[in-house]
Amino acid sequence: MIKLLIDKKRCVTCGNCEAWLPGLMAHVPRGFMAVESADTETIRQAIDSCPLDALTMEATNEA
Ligand code: SF4
């Protein structure tokens, strides 16, 4: 499982990341999204798509 941290102070709900991780914006108020189905490359694409650098990947099961 990978935890994607969302800095809700930075996020402007532009929707760019939704193209890679549908449903992510619904998790903004909580400040994180647990990702189990997407590969790390998809998650990196979502992070790179954020113009505000609001996304950070926190791997919880990687060596
Ligand atoms: S791309 Fe960044 S600013 Fe836009 S909705 Fe996603 S987290 Fe928020």
Q: Which pLDDT value is given to residue 62? A: 53
pLDDT averaged over the chain?
Answer: 92
Residue 6: Cβ-neighbour burial (10 angstroms; 0-12, 13-18, 19+): buried
Residue 12 alpha carbon to ligand 1 centre in Å: 6
pLDDT at res. 33:
96
State the CATH number of the domain containing residue 42.
3.30.70.20
Q: What is the pTM of this model?
A: 0.89
What is the distance between the alpha carbons of residues 31 and 26, in angstroms, rounded to a whole number?
A: 10
Residues of the domain holding 48: 2-59
Nearest Cα residue to atom 3 of ligand 1: 11
- Would you list the DSSP string of 39-60? -HHHHHHHHHH-TT--EEEEES
CA 29 – ligand 1 centroid, Å: 12
pLDDT digits 0-9 by tens, 15-50: 999 999 999 999 999 999 999 887 889 999 999 999
pLDDT for the residue numbered 14? 97
Question: How many domains would you assign to the chain?
Answer: 1
Ligand 1 contacts CB of residue 23 (under 6 A):
no
Confidence of residue 63 (pLDDT cuts 50, 70, 90): very low
